[in-house]
A and B are shown apart, each in its own frame.
Chain A
Amino acid sequence: MKIVVIGNGMVGYKFCEKLTAKAQPGQFEIVVFGEETRPAYDRVHLSEYFAGKTADDLTMAGLDWYAENNIRIYLGDPISYIDRDQKTVRSHHGINESYDYLILATGSAAFVPPIPGVEKEGVFIYRTIEDLEMMTTYAKKAKTGAVIGGGLLGLEAAKAMIDLGVTNTHVIEFAPRLMPRQIDEAGSNILKAKLESLGLSIHTSKNTSEILGDQFITGMQFSDDTKLDIDMLVISAGIKPRDELAKLAGLETGHRGGIVVNDRLATTDPFIFAIGECALHGGMIYGLVAPGYEMAEVVATNLMGGDKSFTGFDMSTKLKLIGVDVASFGDPFVSVDEGRSIVLEDRMKGVYKRVNISPDGKYLLGGILVGDAEQYNMLLQTTKNKVVLPPNPEDVILGARGGAGNEGGAGVANLPDDALICSCESVSKGDICKAVCDGNETMDSIKKCTKAGTGCGGCVPMVKDLITHTLKSQGKYVRNVLCEHFNYSRQELYDLVKVHKLQTFDEVLNKLGTGDGCELCKPPVASILASLWNDMILAKGNDTAQDSNDRFLANIQKGGTYSVVPRIPGGEITPEKLIVIGQVAQKYNLYTKITGGQRIDLFGAHVNDLPAIWSELIEAGFESGHAYGKALRTVKSCVGSTWCRFGLHDSVSFAIQIEERYRGLRAPHKLKSAVSGCIRECAEAQSKDFGIIATEKGWNLYVCGNGGSKPQHALLLATDIDSETCIKYIDRFLMFYIKTADPLTRTATWLNKMEGGIDYLRNVVVNDSLGIAEQLEAEMQTLVDNYKCEWKEAVENPEIRKRFTHFVNAPESKDPSIQFEPMREQKKAKEWK
């Protein structure tokens, strides 16, 4: 059977790919005619051409692919005539080919409105690589540019102009809002504000009446008698289906363009099909690539003897426009009688969310997301699969509020099996769960066997959730291995590193892992090494395995400066030391703030200044506060019995003793503690990883509390113990946590996952049920004995000190991109984009 394909765009190519994949070799003879001189390329990512991608990078498949699949391809040679009686076509260069079936994939052209002056030099359309090349040349002499069209393509073109260096760019939209097909007016206003903050000038409700200039464009005249001086104009006001060949052949076309097709994509001639942007199906032109691909699939399947129909396509879309997320799904503009809408608008953050809900409040009909489209996938699935909404439907955009453990009722578990998870490759939830049951238990193997997540990648988090969910529902133990380089959990790795006495990241990787490591395994391994041996963390070989903050012994902040937190044990500080902190802050122009942990944080330090700042602090008797590390942070205290009329014991002295004992202790996550001098609990000890509260007879020890996003009260581990026993128990508790917790797991989460919970933990720590108490205490004592202030070591070691520069080849220069803004007599980091 002989197939002739007219048009070699994305959809024309996809058709060839799908048909050759389905067919036996030699089953079809395929001939392709393309108007452009290049084989099909990725038009969707055309703007990446400016970001450094070459024409070759954008190519869908090279000419060798067509040769390998025995497809004859004629480029730069459009078909000029179809003889339907003889079933032949004739090309512009006079090539004649007969066909059994003819596929029209002629695509669309840019729609150019009939404005006087569009023929002037400096006026472009934005459609092909040639257009881009011409724009690139012209843009070199242009300073001010404009784009007609504030839709999806128009805004893409505006981004292209910025990429070309035409920074002063105007967007002219005829409609009263941007992206009129996808978003409503409120969404458009948020998008407009965001784009304007990025340097674009946006004009809506603006009708261009004339393009000014002689040979070259010099400006635009609008119908409201205003004018704009510009050097360059791109018209991107919509598309026009390429149906002229079909019209000439007598096929039915729509009166506003497009080749009329039925559900099998056949035109009025049963031997001729039309697919992609040239096809008019159900009165609609589909100007996106995904429906075009679906059309290619339908025709290819039917040519193979299958039975498939095209029944319309969901036009939901999510994209990033010049860095701003925009998504629209289902019916974005439900009217009052069809349903009701819930709207969240945050002009400060530039976020707009609207969901449309059926009148009975049960189903999601569609919606709009601007500025934050993270929930797009889940909302789209909820809409498509008619998942019943939670009792408070606003939870789907706001997240569940109040009440612990309430997940809002719309997680992956609630989706039906036919829910489409990956829309690029049409993979359903059922397909993924089945693949997991068949033994494909990693993201990589799911990608290989189902192709899910291989397209835009937007569904990857959902696929991961599905893998975990399916494994758990099978009762499988989900073992948390570190990453692709280590097939061990953190606990296993801790024991192995200890047994083999490994000292550096490379030794651990050589002995226990594969490959070269990554940002997922380096910090936990570095943390294990620090917890085991307590060597200087910046010692050669381990320095670059430290997480970023540990590598510079300071917390990186917005803008790239660092913050400095000296240790103030128990929150007790002398006036002399307070004065030194003030002087240092003044000298290095630092923003100062009291932290929640009774310390003082100094922000805005250049990396170059860190060693000098710390030298001065150390000189005055300070040491590192480890605010940058997954380590013991602070032991907070109330003033205690020395001053307080209610105090039972001296909570400050005990807090200082505890803080100095565990300072610098590296753990799977940060550790916080507090000591309160009586039951009034002013130090908030029950919200800490370990908290101590004075009683008449001694101390009560609480463990595994946690503030943060999911607050959890600490649980009582032991009552009325003396100071010595208290420290013994804390030694055991902390060492047990360090040895067994997963990376980045706080003590509260660690306990929540522990079988047997607090009773089991109490048995291990207090009753020594595992017989390891003595060992745990000894291990802790080694760490305590090995403690050194790492900032002191850093400033005294010229090799390490040298690393605290921004430019390796200009060590004296600071990062010139760092900017501050004044605020309340101090400064703050410049807001990022």
Chain B
Amino acid sequence: MIQEKVLTWFLACRTTDVPENGGVCVKYHDEQIALFNFSRRGEWYASQNMCPHRQQMALSRGMIGTQNNEPKVACPFHKKTFSLVTGQCLSGDDCGDIKTYPVKIENELVYIGIEE
């Protein structure tokens, strides 16, 4: 069953806190969320910070880019890549997928949508 999920919008930081075409890590309670400013595309993405391959808190320090026009992030440890849209692992191995979060910008502030 598909249910409309209730989202809580969490204020993460200012837009200027995130480097252009790069990421930062956001603390949300005990969770770590990677937030990406894909300024070349004018898009924002968020995902879990942990790379599922070796359980390292590292994706926010990864390089972002595209593969066939699909935005992705590469983990700095072993270059496993994940779609920033679906969270799917794109490296062609089954190290697992990542969780992604919706992002919205209002008045130059960045909000991350957390499911209740």
Residue positions of A touching B, CB distance < 8 A: 48, 51-52, 54-56, 320, 323, 444, 457, 460, 484-485, 506, 515-523, 540-541, 543-545, 547-549, 551-552, 556, 558-560, 803, 806-810, 813, 815-818, 832-833
Contacts and interface: CB of A to CB of B under 8 A. Distances in A.
Contacts, number: 115
A808 B24 contact: yes
A59 B74 CA distance: 29
Contact of A809 (B12, B30, B81): B12
Given A808-B35, A833-B55, A548 B63 contact: yes
B2 interface: yes
B17 A506 contact: no
Interface residues of B, number: 49
Nearest to A461: B92
3 interchain residue pairs of minimum CB distance: A518-B65, A548-B76, A544-B22
A197 to B, nearest CB: 13
Given A807-B26, A808-B25, A809-B26, A544 B63 contact: yes
Nearest to A521: B65
B9 interface: no
B8 interface: no
Contact of B20 (A515, A541, A809): A541
Contacts of B99: 52
A518 B1 contact: no
A662 B93 CA distance: 40
Interface string B90-106: 00111011010000000
Contacts of A556: 58, 61, 76-77
Given A52-B97, A519-B81, A806-B25, 8 more contacts: A517-B40, A518-B67, A519-B62, A544-B22, A545-B63, A548-B62, A548-B63, A807-B25
7 contacts: A515-B66, A517-B21, A519-B62, A545-B63, A809-B27, A815-B25, A817-B32
Nearest to B10: A809
B107 interface: no
A559 B65 contact: no
B17 A519 contact: no
Nearest to A832: B54
A512 to B, nearest CB: 15
Given A51-B97, A518-B67, A809-B13, A545 B72 contact: no
B19 A516 contact: no
Contacts of A558: 56
B65 A517 contact: yes
A604 to B, nearest CB: 15
Contact of A560 (B57, B69, B74): B57
B85 interface: no
Contacts of A543: 19, 22
A559 B76 CA distance: 12
Given A56-B2, A832-B54, A807 B27 contact: yes
B13 A517 contact: no
Contacts of A521: 65
Contacts of B93: 457
A519 B63 contact: yes
Given A516-B71, A519-B79, A460 B2 contact: no
A832 B20 contact: no
Contacts of A818: 57
A455 to B, nearest CB: 11
A734 to B, nearest CB: 27
A522 B79 CA distance: 13
Nearest to B38: A516
Contact of B21 (A54, A55, A544): A544
B18 interface: yes
Contacts of A808: 12-13, 17-18, 24-26, 35
A545 B21 CA distance: 8
B49 to A, nearest CB: 9
A519 B19 contact: no
Contacts of A51: 96-97
Interface string B76-91: 1101010000010000
Contacts of A552: 61
A519 B38 contact: no
A558 B96 CA distance: 19
B25, B63, B69, most chain A CB atoms within 10 A: B63
B19 A544 contact: yes
A544 B38 CA distance: 11
B16 to A, nearest CB: 10
A548 B65 contact: no
Contacts of A548: 61-63, 76
A523 B79 CA distance: 12
A558 B65 CA distance: 24
A815 B24 contact: no
A518 B66 CA distance: 6
A809 B18 CA distance: 11
Contacts of B30: 816
Contacts of B71: 516
A560 B75 CA distance: 11
B1 A522 contact: no
B74 A484 contact: no
B56 A522 contact: no
B35 to A, nearest CB: 7
Contacts of A807: 25-27, 32
Contacts of A520: 65
Nearest to B94: A320
A457 B92 contact: yes
B27 A810 contact: yes
B80 to A, nearest CB: 10
Interface in B29-46: 30, 32, 35, 38, 40-41
A558 B51 CA distance: 13
A162 to B, nearest CB: 13
A540 B81 CA distance: 24
B20 A55 contact: no
A484 B54 CA distance: 27
B40 A516 contact: yes
A484 B68 contact: yes
A559 B56 contact: yes
B74 A518 contact: yes
Given A518-B66, A519-B65, A547-B63, A832 B56 contact: yes
Nearest to A552: B61
B24 to A, nearest CB: 4
A485 B40 CA distance: 14
B65 A551 contact: no
Nearest to A607: B61
A815 B96 contact: no
A56 B72 CA distance: 23
Contacts of B76: 547-549, 556
Given A516-B65, A541-B20, A544-B20, A560 B26 contact: no
Nearest to B68: A484
A552 B60 CA distance: 12
B69 A515 contact: yes
A400 B13 CA distance: 53
A548 B58 CA distance: 10
A484 B67 contact: yes
Given A516-B71, A808-B35, A815-B57, A54 B2 contact: yes
